[in-house]
Structure 1
Amino acid sequence: MSKTPSPAEHLKSFLEKFDPTMAAVIRSCRVAMRKRLPTANELVYDNYNFFVIGYCTSERPSDCICSLAANRQGVGLAFYYGATLPDPNKILLGSGNQNRFVRLSEGAKTLAQPEVQDLIAAAIAQAKTPLPKDGKGKLIIRSISAKQKPRK
C-alpha cells in the first residue's frame, strides 16, 4: 500500500520538473516570500502553463495577496488584484482588468527591491481578510494538472 505524499514531498517533486538552476531560483524566491509573509498559507498549483505558489490570508484562493508563478522561462510575482495597487515606479506588467505581475529577473534579489516590497505591502493592506498576526502558514496542494507544458 503506497502512502500519500506529504505537501512538502509534492512540492519537492514539482520543483524536480524544472532545470536545476530554475528550481534553485524558485526555492530562493519561496524562502524570501516565507520570510516576508510567515503567517500566509501557501496554496500550490502545478497547472498546465505555470507552477504557482499563492500567498493567502486564508485557505481560500480569493484571499491571495500575491503568487510566485514559474515556467521554464522564469519566475514572476503576480498580484491577483494588481490593477488596483499603487505603482508609482511603473514596474507592474499586464493590462487585464485585475491581475498584474513583476518579472523576477534576478530572483529573490528582485523581490528584495524596495519598489517590489512596497507593492507587497500595498497588497497586504488591501487584503479583505487580514493576515494572521502570529503562527505559521500551511503548505496546501490545491491542484495538479495531468497535462503540463515542459518545465525544462
Structure 2
Amino acid sequence: MPTAPTARQVADAIACYTPDIADALTACRRKLCARVPRGYELVYDNYNALAIGYAWANKASASLVSIAAYPRWVTLFFLYGKGLPDPDGLLEGEGVRVRSIRLTSPDDLDRPPVQQLLTLALAAHEADFAAAPPLTTVVKAVAATRRDRRPR
C-alpha cells in the first residue's frame, strides 16, 4: 500500500490526464494490484507517459508487466513478451524483448487471453513474488519536463 505522500504523488500524476484516461488507468491499476498482491509497484512519471511496473524486487529489471498512460490510451506492456505464446495474436511490437497490448477498456484485462498472457508472464518469478512484501508503491522517477498529458 502506498504511503500518504507517495499516494498523493501518484494521484497528482494521474490527475494530469483527461477523466477518461485517468479513470481507465486507475481501473487498470486496481486490477493489476489485485493480480499482483506482493512485490513492488514501480511508478515512473516519464517524459512521454506515466508508467507503472509490477516487480518482484524494488528495481526496474525485476518488472515483468507494466501499464502506461498516454494522452489517448492506456497500454499493457509485457517486458519479456517476445517469448510469450500468443495464439490470439494480441501482442504488438517488433522489439528485441517487449510486447504490448493497447487496451480499449480496463475490462480487456479480464479477457481470458489477456489473463493467460499475464499468468505466463508472471509465472517465471512466482516464488520471488511470494517471498516479496505486500505490494509496495515506489515512485522511482519524475521527469523534470513532460509532454502534455491531454490530447491537443
1:79 to partner: Cα distance: 0.8
1:101 aligns with 2:94: no
1:53 aligns with 2:49: no
1:126 corresponds to: 124
- Cα distance in 1 for partners of 2:141, 2:132 equals 27
Which amino acid is the alignment partner of residue 147 of structure 1?
A: T
Which amino acid is the alignment partner of residue 31 of structure 1?
A: R
Percentage of matched positions with identical amino acids: 31
1:60 to partner: Cα distance: 1.3
Long gaps (5+) in structure 1:
none
Long gaps (5+) in structure 2:
none
1:29 to partner: Cα distance: 0.6
TM-score, length basis structure 2? 0.91
Describe how 1:58-97 pairs up with structure 2 within 5 A: 58-97=57-96
Tell me the secondary structure at the aligned position of residue 76 of structure 1. Answer: strand
Residues paired across the two proteins, number: 147
TM-score, length basis structure 1? 0.91
Which amino acid is the alignment partner of residue 144 of structure 1?
A: V
Segments of 4+ in structure 1 off by > 6 A? Answer: none
The superposition leaves residues 76-101 of structure 1 with CA deviations (integer Å, 9 ceiling, x where unpaired) of 10011110111111100000010000
- Cα distance in 2 for partners of 1:129, 1:59 equals 16
CA 37–102 in structure 1, closer or farther in 2 if over 3 Å, else same:
same
1:52 to partner: Cα distance: 0.4
